[in-house]
Structure 1
Amino acid sequence: MAAELIATTATKKVYRDGDKAIKVFNADFPKAEVLNEALITARVEETGGIDVPKVLEVGVFEGKWSITFDFIEGKTLQQLMDENPDKLAEYMEQMVDLHLNILSKHCPLLNKLKDKMSRQILEIDELSDITRYDMRTKLDSMPKHTKLCHGDFNPTNIVVREDGSMCVLDWVHATQGNASADVARTYLLFCLQDQKKADMYMDIFCKKTGTAKKYVQTWLPIVAAAQLSKKRPEEVELLQKWANVCDYQ
C-alpha cells in the first residue's frame, strides 16, 4: 500500500501507510527537535494509563527526518463537535475528564513547564522589557507542581474511535508542571476559535475539580505570553491583549 498524504502543516506532512502514521518533517527542520519529540512521546507512553499512539520508528522518509507512529482510526473530537453541535456539552465533559486523567499522571523525566515558559517569554519581541520581567516574576511565584501537562490539549489532538475511546496525539509540547497552567492554555486555544467553548471548558473543569476560576485565570497572561513566542500572525492580537493584562489579582 502506497503512503497516503493525510495532513500538511507549515513544518511537516503526515502520511498513512496501512496501520502506521508517518510524520515527515521539512528538510530544514532541526534533527534535535525530531528526536526530542520521539523521546517525549515515548516517555509519556511509558507513563501508562493514557491512550497515546506508540512510537514505532525514527528514520528518514524520502530524504527527510520522520517519526512513525501507530495510526489511530477515527474522527477528531473537533470533527465530532462540528458535526454534532447538539452534543457539545457531552463532548466537553468527556474532554475535561480526559484532561483530568492526563493531569493525574507524573512523568519526572520531562522538562519543567516553568522553565520552558520562562524561556519562551524571554524570546518575545512584542512585549516590553518591564512586561517580560513582570511575567517571569509572576511565573516564578506560582505554585510548583509536577503533573503531566500536554501543552497543546485541544479537540484537534484527540481522536475518537468508533467504540468511543479517545486517543491523544501530538505530545511534543508535554512538560511537568501546574495543571491550571495547562487548562489555561486549553482555554486560550479555545478562545482563538470560539469564546463560548472556552467558557464552557473552563466552567466544567472548575466545577469538576473545585478549582477557583480566578486561580486558573491568573495563569492566562503568562500562558498567552508564552503562546506569542510561536509567532502565529492570526493569534497575535488576542494573545497580546491577554499578555498585557498586568493586574493578576
Structure 2
Amino acid sequence: MLGARIAEGSSCEVYEWGGPDKIVKLFHADTPPHAVELEYGNNKAVWECGLPVARPYERVTWEGRDGIVFERIDGDTLVSRLFAKLHRQEAMDNELRLLADVLHRIHRTTHVGVVTDQKTNLKGIIGRPASLTTDEIAAIHDYIDRLPAKRQLCQGDANPNNLLLRDEDGQAVMIDWMHASLGNPAADVAEVCVMLEFAVLPPETPADAKQHFEKSREAACRLFIEEYCRLSGMTESEIRDWYIPLAARSIASGAIPEEQTARLAAMIRERLQTTKRDR
C-alpha cells in the first residue's frame, strides 16, 4: 500500500497510500506512540467540528513505524505562495488575510475534543535549548505563568508552512495538529508574527527577493495583526505579549538558521529585561 514519498518533515515522512486520494504520515521511530495518538485524536476532533483540515482515516503501523492515514491534499503551502509573490504586495496581502481568517475560525470553535493545556505544552516544547541559559528558561516559564490564560481552541503550530491551499479550488487546509491545545489564541497569532518579523531567508533566495522581503516584512506583519484584530477584537498588545515564549519555541525546534536563532535569543533577553524592570 505504501507508494512514493511526497514530503518530509522534522518528525515524519509522507507517502502515497493505496491510491491517489490518501497519504500516510509515517513518524520517525523515535516519535513516542502517545504523540502519534494525540495528533490523530486532535485531528479527528477538529475535522468532526467542520474545520478546514485533512480528514484522518486511521492509525497504521508500517515496518515498525507509527503512522496516520489522511485525505490527500494537493496544493502549495502558504509560505511557498508568499515567496512566489514577493514582488506582488497586493497578492501577499490577500494570503495573509486568509491566514488571519483561518486562525480566527479555529479560535472561535467550541465543544471540540482537544484537552491539552496550552501553557504546560508550550513549556514542554521549549525544553532547554543550548542558546538559552537555565536562568533564562526559568524566567520564560515564569513569564508564561503570568500571561492571561484562556480556554479557546488553538492550533499550537501556526507556522504558515502548515496552511495548504488546494490546487483545485484554492481553499485553505490547516495540517499538523499534534500540539493543538486549549489556551489563549494570541499565542497562535504571535507565532506567525515572530516568523514574519525575524525570519532569515535561505541563502539560495535571489538577492532581489531578499531585498523586497526586508522592505515589506514590517508592513506584512502589521497587516496580519490588524486583520486578525479586526476579526477578533483582540489588541496588538495582547499578541505581542506572547512573543517571548513563541520565540523560545521557534529556537527549540532546531529548524531555523543560526542567524535567526541569534535574533530571537536577543529579542527574548531584551524583553525579559524590560519585563523585569516593569514589575
Q: Same fold per TM (> 0.5)? A: yes
| Range into which the TM-score falls when normalised by the shorter chain | 0.7 to 0.9
- Residue 61 of structure 1, CA deviation: 2.2
Match of 1:149 in 2: 154
Cα distance in 1 between the residues matched to 2:133 and 2:28: 33
1:174-210 Cα deviation digits (max 9, x unpaired):
1111011111112113332563443432233234434
Q: Is the 8 A contact 2:24 2:70 kept in 1?
A: yes
Kept in 1: contact 2:117–2:182 (CA 8 A) = yes
Paired with 2:9 and 2:255, the residues of 1 have a C-alpha distance of 13
2:115 to 87, 110, 118: 110
| TM, length-normalised to structure 2 | 0.79
- Give 1:66 deviation, angstroms: 1.4
SS in 1 for 2:23: strand
Q: Is the 8 A contact 1:51 1:166 kept in 2?
A: yes
Deviation per CA, 1:104-132, whole angstroms, max 9, x where unpaired?
11335421111112334453443334333
Taking a change above 3 Å as real, the CA distance of residues 5 and 175 of structure 1, as seen in their structure-2 partners, is same
- What SS does the aligned partner of 2:98 have? helix
Distance 1:128 1:63, change over 3 A: closer
TM-score (normalizing by structure 1): 0.87
Counterpart position of 2:12: 12
Residue segments in structure 1 that go unaligned for 5+ positions in a row: none
Per mean C-alpha deviation after superposition, the further-off stretch among 60-69 and 208-217 is 208-217
What is the rounded CA distance, in whole Å, between the counterparts of 1:233 and 1:164 in structure 2?
28
Query: How many positions carry a matched residue from both structures?
Result: 248
Q: Is the contact made by 1:93 and 1:204 (CA closer than 8 Å) also made in structure 2?
A: yes
Paired residues for 1:39-50 under 5 Å: 39-46=41-48, 48-50=49-51
Q: Residues 15-63 of structure 1: CA distance to partner in whole angstroms, max 9, x if unpaired? A: 12310011112233322222222122122223x1311112111112244
CA distance in 1: counterparts of 2:38 and 2:113, whole angstroms: 15
> Letter of the aligned partner of 2:184 in structure 1?
N
Q: Alignment partner for residue 89 of structure 1, among 75, 93, 98?
A: 93
In structure 1, what is the equivalent of residue 183 of structure 2?
177
Say whether the 8 Å CA contact 2:128–2:137 is kept in structure 1: no
Alignment CA distance shift 1:27-1:109 (3 Å):
closer
Cα deviation digits, residues 142-182 of structure 1 (max 9, x gap): 21111111122233212222223211111112111101111
Read off the aligned partner of 1:229 and give its amino acid letter: A
| 2:128–2:134 Cα contact (<8 Å) kept | no
> In structure 1, what is the Cα distance between the partners aligned to 2:126 and 2:164?
31
Structure 1 runs (4+) deviating above 6 angstroms are: none
| Equivalent position SS for 1:72 | coil
Q: Give the letter aligned to residue 14 of structure 1.
A: V
What's the counterpart of residue 60 of structure 2?
59
* Deviation at residue 237 of structure 1 after TM alignment: 1.4
Unaligned runs of 5+ in 2: 201-212
